[in-house]
């Protein structure tokens, strides 16, 4: 698997850390849980889309684009990071925001939406949930082209074959770190949304003949839909990178942690975010990593892993979205009678 033949911008400087979660592992009674800190990257507040953008932005620049168009949900980490990469490259950036939850877009809201404006977004188009997002982006592109711009469209989540190459590279990085640490990982757990991260990891491990199970915790789709999405993306990524195809039975997508829908809170997500913050001092987000950690906790409690196994949780970032959900956590702490206040 040779990634050097693809143009690449460098937004990462070295490997992101892998840390043991000693206190969390002890509280759960095993397995040995580690975390890959892909929240600790360059660009604005970090996150997994950075790896994909290294390849996607390089292609945009090679095509002489002067404007980036991408899409995402109301609190999209991908939109934040794509905008930050565009700023770094001196390009304009237009966002198409999908209201996956009706009436959820507030132009003055906190979290990532605030950062869109702080980073100087060139334009935001808000569309209803269920909109054909590629068609919506192409409509924006046509309008910008008529005005003399040279737009380049990045799909939602940066999830196409080229974007997935970023996580094929991450799989290689994990294997190198595991060797240096003297650790063999028995499983990897990650959020599974637009699919580029999940399919990229499968492709990268396949390309290095590493049979490490990857558990994708769905954040939006039911299992059958997500499995088909990951299978298609992995097939395209393997073809692009000249890697043998990923076997269908290697695709694990779990939908029991989605709850009522994308970005909608669950009790398991709140517990997971609260637990990791209080046991390890690490911030998760409510949309992706909170539900992914809820999935990891569920797998451990169901006995999916033995106490001596080593499990790697991929932290894909997203903590700025926490600040759009603060009332949810204050209500939880108050209900649990753990809200600390002191009046003098």
- Per-residue pLDDT tens for 173-215? 999 999 999 999 999 999 999 999 999 999 999 999 999 999 9
**Do the Cβ atoms of 45 and 289 come closer than 8 Å?**
no
CA distances to 76, 86, 131 from 96, rounded to whole Å, are: 10, 15, 10
- DSSP state string for 302-324: TT-S-TT-EEEEEE-B-GGGGGG
Question: In terms of DSSP bridges, do strands 151-153 and 123-128 run parallel, antiparallel, or are they unpaired?
Answer: unpaired
Q: 203 near 195, Cβ under 8 Å?
A: no
Same domain, 166 and 35: yes
Confidence of residue 344 (pLDDT cuts 50, 70, 90): very low
7 within some domain: no
Do 244 and 328 fall into the same domain? yes
| 163, 229: one domain | yes
Question: Considering 25, 44, 76, 104, which one is annotated as catalytic?
Answer: 76
Task: Burial-class residue 223 by CB neighbours within 10 Å (0-12, 13-18, 19+).
Answer: middle
Assigned domain for 10 exists: no
Task: Specify if 343 maps to a domain.
Answer: no
pLDDT surpassing 60 at residue 342: no
Per-residue pLDDT reduced to its tens digit, 237-252: 999 999 999 999 999 9
342 given a catalytic annotation: no
d(CA 245, CA 284) in angstroms, rounded, equals 32
Please check whether residue 269 lies inside any domain of the structure.
yes
Average model confidence (pLDDT) across the chain:
95
Domain that holds residue 32: 18-46+159-336
CATH number, position 101: 3.40.50.1100
Q: For 84, phi and psi rounded to 5 degrees? A: -65, -40
Give the pLDDT confidence score for residue 255 in this predicted structure. 98
Model confidence pLDDT, tens digit, residues 256-310: 999 999 999 999 999 999 999 999 999 999 999 999 999 999 999 999 999 999 9
How many domains, the chain? 2
* Cross-sheet strand order for the sheet of 18-20: 18-20, 32-37, 310-315, 187-192, 214-218, 251-254
Residues 242 and 260 in one domain: yes
Beta bridge partners, 93, equal: 68
Q: Does residue 79 carry a pLDDT above 90? A: yes
pTM of the predicted model, to two decimals? 0.93
- Please indicate, yes or no, whether residues 114 and 205 belong to a single structural domain of this protein: no
Q: Are 260 and 206 found together in one domain? A: yes
187 φ, ψ (degrees, to nearest 5): -165, 155
Q: Are residues 26 and 116 in the same domain?
A: no
Query: What whole-number percentage of the chain has pLDDT above 70?
Result: 99
Residue 270 within a domain: yes
Token readout for 95 is 């966002």
pLDDT of residue 101: 86
Looking at the predicted structure, is the pLDDT value of residue 337 above 70? yes
In this structure, are 34 and 132 located in the same domain? no
Neighbours of 30 (CB within 10 A): 14
pLDDT at 341 over 80: no
Write down the pLDDT at residue 292: 98
- Determine how β-strand 18-20 pairs with β-strand 32-37: antiparallel
d(CA 283, CA 84): 21
Q: Say yes or no: 195 and 328 in one domain.
A: yes
Q: Does residue 321 contact residue 112 with C-beta atoms inside 8 Å? A: yes
- From 104, 131, 158, give the residue that closes a domain: 158
Q: Is the pLDDT of residue 340 over 80?
A: no
Contact 288, 8 (CB under 8 A): no
Distance of CA 155 to the CA centre of its chain: 14
- Sheet containing strand 123-128, edge to edge, reads 123-128, 92-99, 67-73, 151-153
Q: What is the pLDDT of residue 339?
A: 73
Percent of the chain residues past pLDDT 90, beyond the cut: 88
Judgement on whether residues 223 and 308 belong to the same structural domain of the protein: yes
Domain closes at, from 158, 186, 219: 158
E strands present in the chain: 18-20, 32-37, 67-73, 92-99, 123-128, 151-153, 187-192, 214-218, 251-254, 310-315
> Is 141 or 320 the better-scoring residue by pLDDT?
141
39/61 same-domain check: no
In a domain, 12, yes or no: no
Structural domain ending residue among the three candidates 134, 158, 182:
158
User: 86 and 138, same structural domain?
Assistant: yes
């Amino acid at each position: 698997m040779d990634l050097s033949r693809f143009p690449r911008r460098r937004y990462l400087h070295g490997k992101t850390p892998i840390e043991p979660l000693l206190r969390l592992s002890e509280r759960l009674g095993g397995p040995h849980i580690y975390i890959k800190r892909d929240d600790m990257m360059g660009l604005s507040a970090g996150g997994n889309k950075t790896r994909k953008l290294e390849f996607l932005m390089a292609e945009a620049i090679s095509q002489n684009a002067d404007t980036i168009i991408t899409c995402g949900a109301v609190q999209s980490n991908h939109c934040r990071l794509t905008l930050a990469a565009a700023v770094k490259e001196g390009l304009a950036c237009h966002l198409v925001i999908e209201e996956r939850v009706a009436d959820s877009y507030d132009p003055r809201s906190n979290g990532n939406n605030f950062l869109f404006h702080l980073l100087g977004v060139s334009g935001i188009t808000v569309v209803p949930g269920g909109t054909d997002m590629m068609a919506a982006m192409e409509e924006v592109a046509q309008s910008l082209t008529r005005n003399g711009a040279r737009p380049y469209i990045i799909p939602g989540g940066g999830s196409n074959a080229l974007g997935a190459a970023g996580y094929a590279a991450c799989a290689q990085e994990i294997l190198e770190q595991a060797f240096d640490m003297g650790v063999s990982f028995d499983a990897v757990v990650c959020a599974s949304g637009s699919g580029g991260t999940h399919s990229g990891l499968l492709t990268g491990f396949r390309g290095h003949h590493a049979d490490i199970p990857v558990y994708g915790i769905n954040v939006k789709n039911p299992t059958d839909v997500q499995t088909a999405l990951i299978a298609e993306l992995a097939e395209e990524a393997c073809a692009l990178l000249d890697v043998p195809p990923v076997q269908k039975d290697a695709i694990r997508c779990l939908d029991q942690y989605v709850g009522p829908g994308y970005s909608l809170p669950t009790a398991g997500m709140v517990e997971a975010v609260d637990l990791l913050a209080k046991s390890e001092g690490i911030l998760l987000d409510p949309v992706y990593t909170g539900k992914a950690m809820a999935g990891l906790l569920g797998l451990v409690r169901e006995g999916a892993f033995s106490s001596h196994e080593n499990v790697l949780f991929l932290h894909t970032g997203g903590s700025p979205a926490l600040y759009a959900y603060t009332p949810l956590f204050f209500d939880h702490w108050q209900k649990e009678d753990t809200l600390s206040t002191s009046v003098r």
